[in-house]
């Protein structure tokens, strides 16, 4: 996706929406939805500037093309930007010393 045009659309991958958030603490889901609201209001380009989210590309072959945001000290959410220019969250995981 060409970042010349900003992104305001966010969705959860069907797998994540259906069962991936069931074991995630409520306050983490609230933090994720706050990020989603910020993107919808301000655009992805501006939200990436908010240091508290720690929006960054993820390294490693298994996560090539993915980015992550920090929802708390121990929780991260991973997303991709799909072909339509929409942010799609694919996973929310509890991490320990960046075990992703």
pLDDT digits (tens, 9 = 90+) for 18-53: 777 888 999 999 999 999 999 999 999 999 999 999
Spatial distance between the Cα atoms of 47 and 58, rounded to a whole number of angstroms: 17
Q: Percent of the chain at pLDDT above 70?
A: 92
Q: Where is pLDDT greater, at 19 or 63?
A: 63
pLDDT at 3: 52
Spatial distance between the Cα atoms of 60 and 35, rounded to a whole number of angstroms: 24
Residue 41 Cα to chain centre, angstroms? 16
pLDDT at 1: 45
pLDDT digits (tens, 9 = 90+) for 64-73: 999 999 999 9
Predicted structure pTM score = 0.86
Q: Take residue 35 and report the two structure tokens written for it.
A: 């990020």
- All domains in the chain, ordered by first residue: 10-94 (3.30.2310.20)
pLDDT at 98: 52
**Environment class of residue 63 by beta-carbon count within 10 Å: exposed (0-12), middle (13-18) or buried (19+)?**
middle
């Amino acid at each position: 996706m060409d970042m010349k045009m900003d992104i305001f659309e966010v969705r959860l991958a069907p797998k994540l929406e259906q069962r991936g958030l069931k074991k995630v603490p409520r306050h983490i889901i609230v933090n994720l939805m706050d990020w989603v609201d910020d993107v919808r209001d301000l655009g992805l380009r501006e939200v990436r500037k908010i240091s508290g989210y720690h929006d960054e590309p993820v390294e490693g072959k298994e996560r090539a093309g993915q980015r992550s945001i920090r929802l708390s000290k121990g929780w991260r959410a991973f997303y991709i930007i799909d072909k339509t220019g929409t942010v799609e969250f694919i996973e929310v995981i509890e991490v320990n010393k960046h075990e992703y």
